[in-house]
Amino acid sequence: MLRDISLFLAGPGVTAVIGPSGCGKTTLVRIAAGLLPPAEGGVRNGFGRTACVFQEDRLLPWRRIADNVALGLRAAGVSRHARARAAAAALQRVGLTDEDGRSYPHQLSGGMRQRAALARALAVDPDLLLLDEPFGATDFVRRQRLMAVLRSLARDNGKTVLLVTHDLTEAAALAETIVVLAGGPGRLADVVVPETLPDDRTPADIIALTGRLAGVLASGPDPAGTTME
> Should residue 142 be labelled a site residue for another protein when binding is judged by CB under 8 A?
no
d(CA 229, CA 227): 6
State the nearest-atom distance from the C-beta of 109 to another protein, in Å: 4
Using CB under 8 A, count the residues that bind another protein: 32
Q: Smaller CB distance to another protein: residue 34 or 223?
A: 34
Contact between residue 96 and residue 138 where contact means Cβ atoms under 8 Å apart: no
Of positions 17, 23, 54, 127, contacts another protein by CB under 8 A: 54
d(CA 117, CA 134): 9
Q: Smaller CB distance to another protein: residue 3 or 58?
A: 58
Rg from Cα positions in the chain: 18
Contact between residue 104 and residue 66 where contact means Cβ atoms under 8 Å apart: no
Q: Smaller CB distance to another protein: residue 17 or 123?
A: 123
Of positions 21, 109, 152, 157, contacts another protein by CB under 8 A: 109
Question: Which stretches does DSSP call E strand in the chain?
Answer: 13-18, 50-53, 128-132, 160-164, 177-182, 187-192
Among the listed ranges 15-23, 59-67, 86-94, 212-220, the one in contact with another protein (CB under 8 A) is 59-67
> Should residue 33 be labelled a site residue for another protein when binding is judged by CB under 8 A?
yes
